[in-house]
Structure formats: C-alpha cells, structure tokens
Structure 1
Amino acid sequence: MTNLWRLSYTKLLSQLSQTKSLNPGLQIQAHLTKIGLLNDSKHRNHLINLYSKCGAFDYAWKLLDESPEPDLVSWSSLISGYAKNGFGKDAIWAFFKMHSLDLKCNEFTFPSVLKACSIEKELFLGKQIHGIVVVTGFESDVFVANTLVVMYAKCGELLDSRLLFEEIPERNVVSWNALFSCYTQNDFFSEAMRMFGDMIVSGVRPDEYSLSNILNACTGLGDIVQGKKIHGCLVKLGYDSDPFSSNALVDMYAKGGNLKDAITFFDEIVVPDIVSWNAIIAGCVLHECHHQAIDMLNQMRSSGIWPNMFTLSSALKACAALELPGLGQGLHSLLIKKDIILDPFVSVGLIDMYCKCDLTKDARLIYDLMPGKDLIALNAMISGYSQNEADNACLDLFVQTFTQGIGFDQTTLLAVLNSAAGLQASNVCKQVHALSVKSGFQCDTFVINSLVDSYGKCSQLDDAATIFDECPTPDLPSFTSLITAYALLGRGEEAMKLYLKLQGMGLKPDSFVCSSLLNACANLSAYEQGKQIHAHVLKFGFMSDVFAGNSLVNMYAKCGSIEDANCAFSEVPRKGIVSWSAMIGGLAQHGYAKKALHLFGEMLKDGVSPNHITLVSVLYACNHAGLVEEANKYFETMKDSFGIEPTQEHYACMIDVLGRAGKLDDAIDLVNKMPFEANASVWGALLGAARIHKNVEVGQRAAEMLFNLQPEKSGTHVLLANIYASVGLWGDVAKVRRLMKDSRVKKEPGMSWIEIKDSIYTFIVGDRSHSRSDEIYAKLEELGQLMAKAGYVPMVDTDLHDVERKQKEILLSYHSEKLAVAFGLIATPPGAPIRVKKNLRICLDCHTAFKFICKIVSREIIIRDINRFHHFKDGSCSCGDYW
C-alpha cells in the first residue's frame, strides 16, 4: 500500500510540475510531512522540481537545505528552474554550489547550466563547461550538443556553433532548429535559408519551429515568394488578389484550422463568388461555428448569390448540429425548387439533418424516395435510427437491405450493434458477431470495441470478456466498455482488476473509465479504492467533468461517507438533475431526511426540475424518518407540480411510508387504488410493514401475492416466517420452512463485505475460511462478554432454527456482519471507522449488538444493508431504531 501511495504522490507531483500548479504542491508537501513521507528522496525531488518551475525558489531552497543529502536530481531541478525562468546568474551560482559538493553533472544538468551561460553571455564559463562535457563523455548526447550550439551562437561565436553542429553524429530537427535560430537572431538570413534546404535534402522533416525561424529569415531577406511557400504552403507562389487564389486561401485556412484567418482573407475578397461562400460556410461548419455558418448563408442570399448543392449540404449540417428542423425544412424546399433534391449527396445530407432533429420518419421518406440507394445512404439512415433509439427500425432496415445485397461496412455494423445493445438482444449480437468474423471485421478495433460494449449491455459478460481477451491490442475504448459492463452488473472486483491492467499497459484513463470505476467502488462499498480513483480524477484533471463529479457523489454516499459525498457535490461545476438526485438519494439512504428535503428545495430554487428518481429519493427520505404528511404531500402533488405520473416505485415507497407508520389500512387502500396491477416491490413493502407491526393477516395476503409473482425468492418465506415467529406461531414457522423445502427454494445466504487495505473480504454466517479466523472468533468472544456485562441479551426470537436457546445464541453470534466487524476491529487502526456492506437487511439482534459494540470499542460502525445505512456511534444508531 505504501509503495502504491508513493507512486500516486510522485505521479501527481509530476503532473503539477507540468501545469506549474504551486498551491496544490504546497498542500501535498504539508500532507507528506504529516504522514512522514517528506524525507523520501523521490517526493522531495519532485517538490523541488515543482517549486523551481513555478519560480518559488525560497520553497525549493528550504527543501534543499533540509535534505540530509541532496542529490544530483535535486540540484538539477533547481538549476533548470532558474534557467527556464531566465535567472541565469542564480542558475550559475547554484551550479557552483553543487560542484563544490563534488556532485557530477549529467545529460540533464549540462543543458540547464549552458542555457544559463547563454542568458548571461558567459562565454568563458560556457567553454569551461564544454570541457567538462567532453571529459565526462556527454558530447555525443544530442540534447547537450544542441544546447552547446545555441550557447556559442548566443555568445557571438557562430563559427564554433556551426562546427559543433557539424560534429553532431545524428542531427534531429532540434539540432537544425538550434542552428536556424542562431543564424536568424544574428541576421545571417541567407545562410539560414541555405541550411533549410540542406535539412530538407537530408530527410529531416521540419516542424513548426523550423518554419517559424525560416519565415523570419524570409522576412529578413524580403523574399515574399519564399515566405509564402514556407508558410505551411498556405500561400501559393505568386499569390495576389486573383479570385481563384483568394478562394483557395479561404478554403485552405478554414480546413487548416485557422478560421479567423480564413474569415480575414474572405473579407478581403471584393466580390465573393459562389466558391468563396461555399468555402467559408463549410469552414464554419467544420469548426462547429454553426450559427456563424447560418449567418453566412443569409449574407450570401442577401448579396444576390443563390446557394448550390454544396452550399446547402453544409447548411444542412449546421441545421443538424443546432437541431433546427424548421430551417432544415426550408432548405429542403429550396432544394426541391432548385431541382437538385435527387442528388445522392444532398439526399444523405437531408437524412442526416432529419435524424439529428429526431424526425426519423421524414428521414425515412427521403431514403425511400432515393432512386439508387447506396451504402452511404443506408449508413446515414441506420445510424440515425440507432442514435434516436429507434432500435427495432434499425435492425429491420438492416435485415431488409442485407437481403437486397446492398452490403455493409464498419459504420453499419457499429449502428446495428448499438441498437442490439439498446434492445438487450444478445441473440442479435451473436449473429452480428458471426457476420463480422465471416466478413473479415474480426480485427477491426472499432467493431471489436462495439462487440465488447454490446455484449456487456446484454449482460453477456463472459462473451464480452472473451472478445476483449482475443483483441491483440486493446485500446482505451475496449477497456472502457468492459469496465463499464462489469461495474453495471455488480462485478466491481473484475472492474478494478481490469483497471490495473489498463494502467500496466501505459494507457491513460478518461473520465468515463473513472466514472465506471467509481460506480464499481460504490457497488462494493470500497471506500479506500474509491478514494484512489478520486485521486486519479484529480490527477488527470477530470474534476470539471460532470459525469465524474456525479459518480464521486454516488461513490462516497454508497461507501458510507456522506461528508465526502457532500464535498464532491459542492465541487460539481454544472449541477444537473443527476447531481442533485445523487446527493438527495445519498442523504436519504443515510437517514438525513430533513437535509434531503432541504436540498430538494434548493434544487427547485436553482431551476432544476426533478425526475422520477429524484422523487423516489424524496419519498424514501420521508419513509425512513416517519414523515408521513410530507411524503403524502409530495406523492399527491407530483403530477400537478412536476408533471410526473407515479410509477410502481413511487407507490411502493408510499406504501412503505404508511406501513412503517402503522397505517396498514391506508397502505392497503392505496394498493387497491393503484391504476395498474401492483408488482413485487409494492407487495414487498406491504409484507415488510406487516413484519414490523406483527400483522399476520396482512403479511399472509402480501406473501401469497409474492409467491405468485416471485416463487423463487426466499426473502418472502423468511419474512413470513419472521411474522409467525414474532407472535409465537412456531407451527406456522415450521410450515413455511417445509414449503421452502418442497418448493426447492433456498434461503439466500447472508453475506457481508469489508474493505481492508485495497482488498475486499467476504464473510458468510459461521465463516471460518479466513486466515485469521481464530483471531476473529476470539474477538467476538471478547465482545460477547463485554456486551453481556453492559446488559446485552441475545434476541433469540429472531432466529428461526428449531434448536435450543443456547444454540440460537451461538448462531446469532456468528452472523456475517458480526464476523466482518470483528475482522475490521483487528485489522484496522484504533479509532478508524468500520465500514461493512451486507446483501440482506440487517437483523434486529445484530442491530442491537452493534449499538453495544460501538460504545465498547469507541468506534463508529457503518453498516450498509439492502435498505439503508446504519451509523452506529456512542451506543445509538442513526436510524433511531426506525427501520
């Protein structure tokens, strides 16, 4: 774990050095001091490098002075910082100080001190250092050699500079740039031009620095023709005000990435023709300046020039991007008037525009009217269906055109696989998979990634993993698809392992990977691993990403730290409904009903409208705090106030609210008034209420409905048996157990998980598989004795086994959550909170026991069961025993 943290700190400090972020560096130094890692040479050197690059030399010197044995890396970082910030004298002084300590320069130190000599024009010292370079054998290092070339030139010794350049065995573009810079800065422009020609002949490709220097040379010589040639071939030889040349310049600048210059050249054209307008409108669309493209189109028409099909094709793309169907339909009418509607190029543009405006029926009409449908048109239509979630229509069109022999390509397969995933049609995925293999697309990276994604969304994780494993060079989208699938389907451990593999391959995660991993940590309640992913989110600069921010809120809330969730929520830059819902839901799950409702009010004030998930969280908050009137108010007004019809989930929440509050008759009335047949969640809520209030009649009715809806679920049998046991009907308890046996329904085993040092440990009742079982059971024995002295009495009535009281006490003692908590007590530092996740509802005896244990050990115990969080502290639970 320590090595992992060290690696994380060094990577983070390296990233901060690149961005010159001083304040975070100071915070990290304070943290490293606190945890005793500041004396680590790697951390210290990274901090010195950061401070030096930021120009904070006082901090750098302080670290250097406090270092027991500052090494070459420390001094090199300081000297480099001085040189890069233009403090040549200070860099030279630091070099002498380092030299007095008998530390030898390396290939990283020499360039910095030579740069300092260049700044201060210290030719004599530069020559001395040159001598050291030769003696130490670094003259062949291209980086050092390049710096020597620059140093001599800037000190006025051009001949020596040129001789050194000639001696470089393998000149790279930096070597040539160093020489060009020397000549242009010393007004030797002709020599710079000649050497540029030599560089081209030698096969070295010029870069932006080469061209910049040579353009300066052209300027110095007044050779405008050569300047235009060198200027990225942007201006052709002999350019003047000729319309053809002007149009070419507009088009080239637009397509070359400089729309501003393209517009400048366009504005200089006295009378723009149709080609001029087409070039600038297409350029605006290319640069996603879609409003500007529409403005240009209007100016063009005002100038008396009518658009042709190329103009309208670009304009249609702008309409599609802006989702302006009205304007798009107007352009469609214009195309009909111009009698160019049947042109395939234009038809595809119309299909794309209508699809992106969510008018797939209009797009299909254009497609059907096309006289000669080709693959481009098919892909536009199929992709449009897929993007608009018209998945059945997408698959139907593909089957139809496949039988007609139109064919398919990569784009077709991607759209079809996306729609198959949307329908969760695993059989279609398999068929498309077979087709892609048969057609030679099995090695296509995009198709492979789409297959992984589609199989994952169809819950076919084994197939997704097989495709991934067979991929010779999986890329980031491959990892993202499988990690996301693992996270969504609750296989968080596999997701985390895959992330480690991704890092091992040197791939940098994106915000989607981090979001998926955070969701995996949330499902596992893996707080420490979640914090590490949070660190990666910070390191890679994803905090401004809304998806990552929302996932952080969700992760911390589901890992039991509502404080961290609130901090993450406050840092989400643009809070949307997902952000608000995640935080409201988190507060509700932790029992902070009033805070959840207050935040809901703040959300409404912020102008964000709730969705059905938000209102489920609001009702849930009311439920676990016994706020019946508030819940009823929200439930009754959700349609009128927010336009949301209550779903099964909302009814289940409301029935649970009434049931927990003892209003069973009202709960039953609400079930009877539902506009649709109640599902299992509704009857489950009623059964839970019957258990709380020991109402056998209501419990039997709810259980009968659940036996019909979910005969394979053991939870119904267990709850019904608990109701019978609570009123002493042990004969009925036995009947339920026989019914389970006869129906071959197996009771879902209680399982609990706890995270210790990046590992997740699983426990079941009576588990002795752990390597530290003896210690765990000894701890439980010790706690049992202490609890007994404090007044704890095992609640044997909660155990349904037909055994003696003593045996029931033993069985209760070894519930999975108690084993997990005991392990946490012996495996974590004193005072640290214990976080445990359970797959079932925590039993009444464990709930009571943890109130005793948390007080005895003076620790907070956080249990996340299937319903909510329980924070046990100082002898009480956050739920107030209302759960």
Structure 2
Amino acid sequence: MRFPVAAYNGSRPSLEVDLFVANKLIDMYGRCGSIGDALSVFQSLKERDFFSWHFLLYGYIHNRYIEEAKLLFTRMPYRDIVSWTAMLAAYAKSNRLEEAKEIFDMMPLRNLFSWTSMLVAYARNGHLLDAKIMFLESPETDMVSWTALLTAYAQNGSVKSAINVFEEMPEHDIVAWNAILAACAQNGHTELALATFSRMPERSLTSWNTMLAEGPQLHSSDQVSQIFKEMPETNLISWTSLLAAHARDGHLELSKCTFDSMPEWSTVTWNALLSVYSRGDSTEQTDSLFGRIPEPDLVSWNALLASYARNSHVSNVIDVFHQMPARNIISWTTALGALIQDGNLELASRMLDQMPETDLISVSQLLSGYAVNGHMLEAFQMFFAANLVYAIDQACFVSFLIACSHVGSLDLARSYFLSMAGDFGIQSTRQHYCCLVDLLARSGYLDDARELIHTMPFFPGTLEWTCLHSVRA
C-alpha cells in the first residue's frame, strides 16, 4: 500500500534527543491515524532503535494495516514478547485464526496476554473446544482470561457452560457480573437474568443498560420505563433502549415524548422513532421525519421504503428505491413485495432477476403472487426451482396448493400435502388443510372434504366450512 508523502522536513536525527523526538512523532502519528506521516518520519531516520520499529508496528496494527504490519514484523531486528503478542492480537482481532495460531506457535516466549488473545480468537470463530483447551493449558489465568472464556460460551449460546465458568471463578468483578448478566439476557433466559441482576453486589451503567436493551425479551415498555426511572445515571444507550421499547410496542406519543426529552440523538435513535411512524398510515409524517435525520443510513431508507410499501404507494416505493445510496436484501424484498401486491408481476419478476442476492422470502413472495393471481405455470415452475435451491417452508406449500386448486390438480396437491411432513419435515397448518378442503370440494369430493375437516388436528373453524359450503352453493 502506498502512503502519502509526509510533510516532515526536519533534518535526519543524529543526536539521541532527535531520535527520542522522532520516535515520539512516529507514535503520535500512528495513534492519530496519520500512518503515512509516521512512515515518513521512520524512513527519514539514519539510525533506528527498538522504539522506532515498535512504534511503527503499533501504528500499522492500530490502523488495521495488517499486511504492512506483517511485512515490518519480518524485517524487525528487535522482537520481544510485546511485539510478538501485538502481531498475535492483530490477527486475532481480524479473525485470521490460522495466522494467529501460527504466530502463537512460533513465539519464543508467551505471557498471559498471549494465551488470552489466542483464547479470544478461538472463541470469536466459534471454536469453543479449542478456547477451553487454551484456557486449561495456560500456565496462569486471571480475571480477563476467566471472563473471556465465560463470554465465549455466552456468545455461542452455551449459557449453562457460561454459568458453570462463572461459578468456578475464584472471584467476580463487575466485568464478570456484567458478562454473565448479558449471557442470560441475550439468550432469552428471563428469570436467570432478573435473578442475576438482583444478586449483583454492585451495578454499573452497563448492568442497567443490559437490562434495558433486553426489553423486547424481558419486559413490556412500562417495565422498561420503570427500570429507566430507577437508574442512578443514564447515557445515550439508555435513552435509545427506552425509545426502542416504546417504538416496539407502537406507542407513538410516548416515543415522541422520549425522543424530545433526550439530551442528544444518534442515527439509531432517529431510526427508532422513524420505525414507529413507518408502521402507521401517514406516509407524509414518515417522509417529514426522514427529512430531518442528519445522516440517514440504510436502516433509515428501508424504514421510509417500508412505509410507502405498507400503504400501497407503489410509485413512491420505486422512486425511493432508485434514490437509495445503498441497498440490501431487505430493500430489494420490500420493493419486490410492493410490486407483487400491486399485481405488477412482470416487473416483479424482472426485479427478482436483478437482485444481487435472493433468499426464500423474496422467492416465496413472487411464488405467492403467481399463485394468487392465477399464473399457474409460473407458480409451479418457481416452486420446483425453489425446492432445488432452498429448504422450502410452509408459505411455499400454501402457494403451491393454491396453484393446484386453481387448475384442479387434486392428485398432485394430495401427493405433496402428504409428503410435507415425511419428506420435507414441515408441519401442516390450518391453511394447508383449508387449501386441500377447497380443492376436494371443487373436484366434487364433498364427503372426503367433510371427512378431512373432521379429522384434521385443529378444531374446525369458519374458514374450513366456508370453503366447503361455497362450492356446494
């Protein structure tokens, strides 16, 4: 990588004091992100010492120039355990597991930080067994390594193992308590999270924010509000969690009041309020709020897009879609759904073909559109094509059965209905039974339709009888 030439115009240092100042400059430039200036100072040195090499190495690592750091590391005349560990940590943080392990194995000496860095690298990549082995083989452990192992289990959903590690720890600091609290809360263990929170000998702002952030799983917005009121201090994360709880429950006025009371805002908080508006009937209010966001991101654009789609403003959906500076699969799927809802299946089909990536949701949308609108050939083709690429779901089968009903393909519908559980592992829902009842009745098999209604694993409702009687009428 080429770096810009720095405006370092001092003479080449020859005195010790000059080398000291030059090293400080390399360190300062590296910490400030001016790695080109740091390199220029380094290259201007007639003589370099241990600190010259190390400060430039740390500058590369700090600014994520891993390849440049690797090249410099191989050229360094001085390497100590700190420089070895710095390279190990750089690879670990970049999820370059094999290179991290290679550095670890080559290290002439290792310290506790080296062992913990390797443990964290394994944990981040889901290698729990290797992380546990690294912990057990480490010649010493401290609170950092214990907490790293606890967090490794928690992040991979192994809450029971995380709790076991917590109970085995020789002592618990606030970081360990927060780690086990987050492990319980983020994995849906409501009672454990509440019990852990009540057991904590002290609570930090992180502890309180963890309880607030898990509001969707643990609390109603009223309970989140109560926790917020009890907090000894709050920050932007706290306010955003409170706003998100009100937004999730659709409380527009409370969301607006919370937003207006916030001491500061971020794009996340703007988006939380925007999400409430986007679920409503007023696209004008959504559009107005979107225009006030200082720096709208992809989430902001998707919320605006969803607002127009939900209110069937298809032309606005297309306009916003083309204005978006970036798109993801949510953007594409939202626009696709609006076209299908509008009955413009030809344009929807072209959009699906243009999508940089597709998923079962987008394919299922168009499949449903074909089935409901009577495009039976296209519906069958899409169903069989989807079956080759994705693990088709209940919604796909509903669309398939609707298509069969339209063309009277009773044998095909019955065959796939029976194969849902055995061949596809999909449990039949009431909708599937209704489709088959409708098809049996349309085909003249009224007794079979009536028998299916009585033997299905649901209490017969209005919909099933309506399917039967509408045909008889």
Alignment correspondent of 1:586: 369
Shifted more, 431-440 versus 273-282: the winner is: 431-440
1:582 positional shift: 2.5
Q: Structure 1 residue 608 and structure 2 residue 390: aligned?
A: yes
Alignment correspondent of 1:452: 243
1:642 positional shift: 2.7
Equivalent residues in 2 for 1:518-533 (5 A)?
A: 518-533=305-320
- Relative distance call for 1:439 and 1:356 in structure 2 (3 A) is closer
2:5 alignment partner AA: S
1: distance between equivalents of 2:326 and 2:266? 20
- What are the ranges of 5 or more consecutive residues in structure 1 without an aligned counterpart? 1-208, 696-883
Deviation string, structure 1 residues 477-534 (Cα, Å, up to 9, x no partner): 12322333454xx5242x651332221x253432223333333333322212212321
1:263 positional shift: 1.0
Q: TM-score by structure 1 length?
A: 0.47
1: distance between equivalents of 2:423 and 2:306? 32
2: distance between equivalents of 1:417 and 1:656? 48
- Relative distance call for 1:339 and 1:314 in structure 2 (3 A) is closer
Alignment correspondent of 1:438: 230
- Relative distance call for 1:589 and 1:523 in structure 2 (3 A) is farther
Q: Structure 1 residue 687 and structure 2 residue 465: aligned?
A: yes
| Equivalent pair of 1:456/1:481 in contact (CA under 8 Å) | yes
| Equivalent pair of 1:492/1:524 in contact (CA under 8 Å) | yes
2: distance between equivalents of 1:365 and 1:314? 22
| Equivalent pair of 1:455/1:461 in contact (CA under 8 Å) | yes
Q: Structure 1 residue 364 and structure 2 residue 163: aligned?
A: yes
How many positions carry a matched residue from both structures?
455
1: distance between equivalents of 2:178 and 2:444? 59
Alignment correspondent of 2:59: 252
Deviation string, structure 1 residues 558-617 (Cα, Å, up to 9, x no partner): 233223322321222121222222222232333323212212222233x32223333333
| Equivalent pair of 2:174/2:203 in contact (CA under 8 Å) | yes
1:448 alignment partner AA: W
Deviation string, structure 1 residues 603-660 (Cα, Å, up to 9, x no partner): 233x322233333333344344544333323222223333323234433443444345
1:686 positional shift: 0.9
| Equivalent pair of 2:12/2:46 in contact (CA under 8 Å) | no
| Equivalent pair of 1:522/1:559 in contact (CA under 8 Å) | no
- Relative distance call for 1:418 and 1:591 in structure 2 (3 A) is farther
1:279 positional shift: 0.3
Alignment correspondent of 1:476: 267
Alignment correspondent of 1:670: 452
1:265 alignment partner AA: L
Whose Rg is larger?
Answer: 1
Picking from 197, 211, 229, the partner of 1:416 is 211
Equivalent residues in 2 for 1:719-798 (5 A)?
A: none
2: distance between equivalents of 1:523 and 1:437? 35
2: distance between equivalents of 1:661 and 1:334? 71
Q: Structure 1 residue 300 and structure 2 residue 104: aligned?
A: yes
Equivalent residues in 2 for 1:269-348 (5 A)?
A: 269=76, 272-286=79-93, 288=94, 290=95, 292-301=96-105, 303=106, 305=108, 307-335=110-138, 338-340=139-141, 343-348=142-147
Q: TM-score by structure 2 length?
A: 0.83
2: distance between equivalents of 1:655 and 1:449? 49
Deviation string, structure 1 residues 354-407 (Cα, Å, up to 9, x no partner): 1222222211211222233233223322333444xx32x245323433354321
Alignment correspondent of 1:502: 290
| Equivalent pair of 1:382/1:394 in contact (CA under 8 Å) | no
Equivalent residues in 2 for 1:96-495 (5 A)?
A: 212-215=5-8, 217=9, 232=29, 234=38, 242=49, 245-269=52-76, 272-286=79-93, 288=94, 290=95, 292-301=96-105, 303=106, 305=108, 307-335=110-138, 338-340=139-141, 343-387=142-186, 390-391=187-188, 393-394=189-190, 396-409=192-205, 411-422=206-217, 425-426=219-220, 429-441=221-233, 444-471=235-262, 473-487=264-278, 490-493=279-282
1:349 positional shift: 1.0
| Equivalent pair of 1:483/1:498 in contact (CA under 8 Å) | yes
| Equivalent pair of 1:619/1:650 in contact (CA under 8 Å) | yes
| Equivalent pair of 1:247/1:275 in contact (CA under 8 Å) | no
Deviation string, structure 1 residues 767-804 (Cα, Å, up to 9, x no partner): xxxxxxxxxxxxxxxxxxxxxxxxxxxxxxxxxxxxxx
Q: Structure 1 residue 554 and structure 2 residue 337: aligned?
A: yes
| Equivalent pair of 2:163/2:180 in contact (CA under 8 Å) | yes
| Equivalent pair of 1:549/1:572 in contact (CA under 8 Å) | yes
2: distance between equivalents of 1:414 and 1:658? 56
Deviation string, structure 1 residues 80-112 (Cα, Å, up to 9, x no partner): xxxxxxxxxxxxxxxxxxxxxxxxxxxxxxxxx
1:372 alignment partner AA: E
2: distance between equivalents of 1:348 and 1:520? 43
1: distance between equivalents of 2:66 and 2:450? 67
Shifted more, 258-267 versus 476-485: the winner is: 476-485
Q: Which has the higher contact order (CA 8 A, sep 6+)?
A: 2
* Superposition CA RMSD, Å: 3.3
| Equivalent pair of 2:153/2:161 in contact (CA under 8 Å) | yes
- Relative distance call for 1:582 and 1:466 in structure 2 (3 A) is farther
2: distance between equivalents of 1:304 and 1:507? 49
1:419 alignment partner AA: E
- Relative distance call for 1:230 and 1:406 in structure 2 (3 A) is closer
- Relative distance call for 1:655 and 1:469 in structure 2 (3 A) is farther
2: distance between equivalents of 1:358 and 1:401? 19
2: distance between equivalents of 1:600 and 1:649? 17
